[in-house]
Structure 1
Amino acid sequence: MKKLLLLLNFFFCLTLLSQNTVGTIRNDSGSYNGYTLLYPANSTETYLINNCGEVIHQWTSTYTPAASAYLLENGNLLRTGKISNSDITFGGVGGKIELFDWNNTLLWEYTYSSATVSQHHDIFPLPNGNILMLAVSTMTEAEAIQAGRDPFMLSEGKLFNEQILELEPVGMNQANVVWEWNIKNHLIQDIDASKDNFGVVAENPQLLDINYLNDANPIANWLHINSIQYNETLDQIVLSSRILSEIYIIDHSTTTEQAATNSGGIYGKGGDFLYRWGNPEAYGKGTSTDRTLFSQHYPHWIPDGFTDAGKIILFNNGNSRAYSSVDIINPPVSAPGVYIYDETTGYGPTAAEWIYTDPEPTDLFSSILSSGERLPNGNTLICDGDSGYFFEIDTNNTIVWEYVNPDAASGILTQGDTPTANLTFRAKKFSEDYPAFFGRDLTPGDPIELNPDLSECTILSTPEFVFDELIIHPNPSSHILNIKTNNTIDKIELYDLVGHLVLSVKANKQIDISHLSNGLYLTRIISGNHSITKKIIKN
């Protein structure tokens, strides 16, 4: 990436659409055809764009995002919203969650904001329809000291407890909290034996040292968790602490009561850390020279069927080293979800197994925000958040797609403008056969930017993957649906015509549809990184 060249109007950049400064800058033949979800940090708009930057769909809110948004399989948009809170003011504070349908109708909203609590940064939609919400609650000075915080490290007279609430939406604006986890229940300290949580930090990696600062100032927002992601197969959650430069994995299978303890759940450790990585100094297993993460964002498991599936990918902002990277790590395990801990060196690996940096490392540097994700064709999509710059690299690390967010704090930019204040939290690209798009009008509209120039940009066709002798029979069917093909079938999914997933079967060429209502369904057959969608009738 050449951020400097971008900011200088790409004066010497020899790429497709090299005259452009915003919108699509490059769209080469190796790019992955899909639709990218764009929700600028200073805008109330959420866009779905194609590779040429043309708007496929758009949602409008009253609020700018409190960082994250998600396009659900049924076509609904789940997003965070930023509302005023004079008592909790760090970056990423939101306080509101909204759910819109495809037609921009507000279906549900929920406010979690007061003088002592607030939603912030991230949420995550669970398969059962519930929502994981990242939030803080306030510990008073007395509570923090009793928990073992050094009194000289309470510069604001309070400390924020990071928490996760699982919400079950109710009605138009209510929710039941059906599960809860709090970091304040999983702390340790070694400075005052008369206070809670006293122990040996190096002997308790499952707990967080309440007095470890990672060279940061002793502020109330001492952790700044900026991401929450979920693994359905493992029933685990991964969190990211920007300030401590660590990621943490916890068990979601616990009850709320177990989540406050060190026992219970599938993995038997309650709400304690199952795994942590990035900064072994934080738990007494190294020094600052052993640190591998630097203010990172968006750690998440790479989905099944993708290159490096099951490993964790993240954007390593690199604040203290002045360049960013996208890293992939493969945590050592003794069984699925059971992480190996070495008494001497702590949690492995010692380094990421795959790292992308710019050929001129400092040309890729975003001190805040940002993301990286694997795409179905093996490419990697990267969001340089503080520049509103998205780019896609192929398996040879060659840039094949570039886009600059034109929706800035000053308004919609005109082609030729130098982009400023166009921050974006993440980039997420969806395949053209993502269930949310079934039955939708995806006719491209105009690009976001004013005076656009797409004269040299075309949506490149992708050769369709051919399933060998694919036969679905009987069709119509009232009971058993047989799938015949010489290809390996990894998964079969059935969707109704509004995009709801109604059935999912792994590695099977025969599925029972007798329990489904009569009607037309879309069958998505997945083989490796490829899929094909066919219509079937249940009668």
Structure 2
Amino acid sequence: MHRKLLFALLISINVVFSQNTIGTTSISEGVYDGYTLFTSHTETYLINNCGEVINQWTSSFPPGNAVYLLENGDILRAGRTSSSDITFGGQGGVIEIYNWEGNLTWQYFYDTPMMRQHHDIYPMPNGNVLILAVTRMTNAEAIQAGRNPAELSETDLYNEQIIEVTPVGANSATIVWEWNVKDHLVQDFDNSKDNFGDVGLSPEKLNINFLNGGSGASNWLHFNSIQFNPVLDQIIISSRNLSEIYIIDHSTSTAEAATNSGGTYNKGGDFLYRWGNPQSYNQGTEADRQLYGQHYPYVIENGILDAGKIIVFNNGNGRNPMFSEVFIINPETDSPGVYTYQSNTAFGPVAPDYIYSNSASPTDFFSGILSSAQRLPNGNTLICEGINGRMFEITPNESIVWEYINPVNSNNGTVSSQETEPSTFANTIFRSLKYKPEYAAFIDKDLTPSDPIELNPDLSACYSLSISDFEQFDISFYPNPTKGSIAIDSNKTIDKIEAYNTLGRKIIESNTKAIDLSNQSNGIYFLRIYSGSNNVSKKVIKH
């Protein structure tokens, strides 16, 4: 093939891929080679970096909202029931487990006129499940808890609750632990009530009359995340409406969790730590506020960059101008799990250790609701810009090495074709999580990729990259360009070779160290070469 023609063809391939509007819209060397899990409408997808589906699960319920891949290959998923008793953004009501093959093995409803699961759940190491829920408090109960009656705009008030359940059979559970925020309130409005006190000297309690500019509606707190830290046996909570995160002790009994004593840290169910909006406990002003409607704070796992620190997606909702960020904060501690605090001050740190934003154009990176950020084993960060259905991965130097746009209409499940503008349909994602290839869930599972979710996909640029980041091949292949047969020489056993055309369609497969393109048209092809759990892709030319 003439050199100028070859150059033009390569440019055309890059142009075609650059026009991708949904699915994997960009990919570069340095992307972490894992599998990404997310839910849209009634479907849960596990995809590779090319956007190809590794597995898919179907529920009868839209998200409610979190989903996790368990170590045995099952998924734990929250679903949204049709209940109209307790309604607000993020409502759920049912928790389900599906096995790898897609069969429903457990379904538990936490949905009555008096209580409802919402937003988050969490799979505990012992097989139990943490569930985030609201329960109703009557206005009379709220007033007894010290709420100013003038700040009650609806007929009830929501208490935020966390329960831990042990799954039983196919549709039951036993509650083994419980925590309620209503047991940890303080107020300085009504001195006739038992919880009357000095809010500024009670940072371990929640001021029932701090509304952060809100209206006093039933859903005054809007907790949107619960994450468990197994190292410290602590739970980290996010309150979107108050723009704060809290840490509580999980080692307590249920009885202790309703008090201010007991447990490993001897504070019962009181807050061990809080951060983001110190005016909530009279230790600052709006100028000291740092969080704005945040989502998904969690403690970064051991062995990963910034382990032990908290990463959180700071949505930026409610400030002017509105833009989103990713924070990493490092709480000061006196000993593991015991947070440094000086009386009559705000919890530290004064500022995050790290902030990611779109420095060139801050308002271009904005999701007022939903969203997440996850630190990956190679130091990259996976960011989910939930309102726009966008997931992207950045390196430590903040280069974007992967971008994916959800092609599924989150309202009705309709799947769009490549080159559809994502702004023309709703494609929101609550959260996305990326799992390493060595994760236990993948042992003895068929991870053969199938077609991407979007219709008429174009994967040409994806196959021009090595997509194995965790172990590289020492490999050569010849001749290239070729008139037909290509031989592979490698330091590893070759299990399989697949050849793909520039549209991403597999056109031939070989189980030897050679593959023959004699019957294919002249042009560019991509070889995917497999060895054990590793694979690499290489570009070849036939002429």
Instruction: Measure, in 2, the Cα distance between the counterparts of 1:23 and 1:199.
Output: 54
Q: Distance in 2 between matches of 1:295 and 1:246?
A: 8
Residue of structure 2 in register with 1:460 after alignment: 466
Residue 376 of structure 2 aligns with which residue? Answer: 375
CA-to-aligned-CA distance 1:164-201 (integer Å, 9 cap, x gap): 00001111111110000000000001011112311110
Q: Residue 159 of structure 1 is aligned with which of 149, 157, 160?
A: 157
Cα 1:464–1:195 change in 2 (3 A) is: closer
1:116 Cα offset (Å): 1.2
Distance across 2 between alignment mates of 1:100 and 1:261: 37
CA positional deviation for 1:115: 1.0
1:460 to partner: Cα distance: 2.2
CA distance in 1, matches of 2:56, 2:165: 26
* Alignment match, 1:347: 347
Which whole-Å deviations, capped at 9, do the CAs of 1:418-445 have from their partners, x for residues lacking one? 1121000011111111110111111110
CA distance in 1, matches of 2:73, 2:457: 28
Amino acid of the residue matched to residue 468 of structure 2?
T
Question: Rg: which structure is higher?
Answer: 2
Q: 1:191-248 deviations in whole A, cap 9, x for unaligned?
A: 1111231111001000000000001111000000000000001000000000000000
Q: 1:463 to 1:108 in 2, by over 3 A?
A: closer
Code of the residue aligned with 1:383 in structure 2: it is C
Among 237, 251, 265, the alignment partner of 1:253 is 251
Shift in Å at residue 343 of structure 1?
2.1
| Equivalent in 89, 112, 115 of residue 114 of structure 1 | 112
State the secondary structure of the residue aligned to 1:346.
Answer: coil
Pair 1:396-2:402 in alignment: no
- Contact 1:33–1:460 (8 Å) recurs in 2: no
Instruction: State the one-letter code of the partner of 1:418.
Output: E
Of 413-422 and 327-336, deviating more is: 413-422
| 2:507 matched residue in structure 1 | none
Aligned alpha-carbon RMSD (Å):
1.6
Cα offset, 1:38, TM superposition: 1.7
Q: Which residue of 2 aligns with 1:444?
A: 449
Partner secondary structure for residue 79 of structure 1: strand
Correspondence 1:147 to 2:145: yes
Determine if the alignment matches structure 1 residue 97 to structure 2 residue 98.
Answer: no
DSSP 3-state at the match of 2:287: helix
- Give the Cα–Cα distance (whole angstroms) in 2 for the partners of residues 15 and 146 of structure 1: 65
Distance 2:394 2:346 in 1: 33
Task: Tell me which residue corresponds to 2:484.
Answer: none
2:237 paired with 1:231: no
What residue number does 1:316 align with? 314
Q: Secondary structure at the match of 2:178?
A: strand
> Where do 4+ consecutive residues of structure 1 move more than 3 Å?
461-466
Pairing of 1:269-308 with structure 2 (within 5 A): 269-308=267-306
| 1:414 aligns to 2:417 (yes or no) | yes
- Separation of aligned partners in 1, 2:51 and 2:300: 26
Partner of 1:208: 206
Distance 1:445 1:265, change over 3 A: same
Taking a change above 3 Å as real, the CA distance of residues 15 and 437 of structure 1, as seen in their structure-2 partners, is farther
- SS at 1:347's partner residue? coil
Deviates more, 1:403-412 or 1:326-335: 403-412
Determine if contact 1:141/1:157 at 8 Å carries over to the other structure. Answer: yes
Residue 464 and residue 37 in structure 1: after superposition, are their counterparts in 2 closer, same or farther (change >3 A)? closer
The residue that corresponds to 2:192 in the other structure is: 194
**Counterpart selection for 2:84 from 86, 110, 132:** 86
Change (3 A) 1:16 1:368: farther
AA partner of residue 139 (structure 1): M
Q: Residue type matched to 1:113 in 2?
A: D
Whether the 8 Å CA contact 2:201–2:344 is kept in 1: the answer is no
User: Relative to structure 2, which stretch is displaced further, 343-352 or 50-59?
Assistant: 343-352
User: Shift of residue 16 of structure 1?
Assistant: 8.3
| Gapped regions of structure 2 (runs ≥ 5) | 1-13, 473-531, 534-543
1:323 counterpart letter in structure 2: F
User: Which residue in 1 is equivalent to 2:331?
Assistant: 331
Which AA in structure 1 matches 2:18?
S
Offset at residue 465 of structure 1 (A): 5.5
How far apart, CA to CA, are the structure 2 residues paired with 1:258 and 1:344?
26
User: What is aligned with 2:23?
Assistant: 23
**Distance (whole Å) between structure 2 residues aligned to residue 123 and residue 460 of structure 1:** 36
2:427 paired with 1:427: no
CA contact (8 A) 1:190 1:198 kept: yes
Deviation at 1:105, TM superposition (A): 1.1
TM-score normalised by structure 1 residue count: 0.82
Pair 1:187–1:375, CA change in 2 (3 A): same
The one-letter code sitting in structure 1 at the alignment partner of 2:25 is I
Q: How much does 1:345 deviate?
A: 2.6
Gaps of 5+ in 1: 1-13, 467-531, 534-539
Q: 1:85: how far off?
A: 2.0
User: 1:3 is matched with which residue?
Assistant: none
Separation in structure 1 between the aligned mates of residue 17 and residue 392 of structure 2, nearest angstrom: 14
Indicate conservation of the 8 Å contact 1:136/1:162, yes or no.
Answer: yes
Give 1:68's match in structure 2, choosing from 66, 69, 84. 66
1:463 Cα deviation from its structure 2 partner: 5.6
Give the Cα separation in 2 of the matches to 1:320 and 1:343: 30
Aligned length: 454
Counterpart of 2:485? none
Deviation at 1:15, TM superposition (A): 8.2
- Aligned AA (2:224): N
For 1:185, what is the secondary structure of its paired residue?
helix
Partner of 2:49 in structure 1? Answer: 51
| Contact 1:16–1:27 (8 Å) recurs in 2 | no
Cα distance, 1:39 vs. partner? 0.6
Distance 1:463 1:204, change over 3 A: closer
Q: TM-score, normalised by structure 2?
A: 0.82
Aligned to 2:488: none
Query: CA distance change for structure 1 residues 51 and 235 in 2, over 3 Å: closer, same or farther?
Result: same
Please tell me the residue identity of whatever aligns with 1:450. L
Q: Distance in 2 between matches of 1:85 and 1:227?
A: 21
1:17-73 CA deviation, whole Å, 9 max, x = no partner? 211110001110011111100212xx1010100001000100011001101000001
Distance 2:417 2:345 in 1: 53
State how 1:456-535 maps to structure 2 within 5 Å. 456-458=461-463, 460-462=466-468, 464=470
- The one-letter code of the counterpart of 2:362 is P
Shift of 1:378: 0.4
Letter in 1 for 2:429: T
Query: 1:84-126 CA distances to partner (integer Å, 9 max, x unpaired)?
Result: 2212110111000000111111111100111110000000000
Counterpart residue identity of residue 332, structure 2: P
Which letter maps to 2:395?
A: D
Within 2, Cα distance between the matches of 1:337 and 1:99? 32
Take 1:461 and 1:413, find their aligned partners in 2: how far apart are those partners? Answer: 25
Tell me the distance in 1 between the aligned counterparts of 2:344 and 2:146.
26
Taking a change above 3 Å as real, the CA distance of residues 16 and 179 of structure 1, as seen in their structure-2 partners, is farther
Counterpart residue type for residue 356 of structure 1: Y
Whether the 8 Å CA contact 2:33–2:469 is kept in 1: the answer is: no
SS in 1 for 2:111: coil
Contact preservation (8 Å) 1:16, 1:26: no
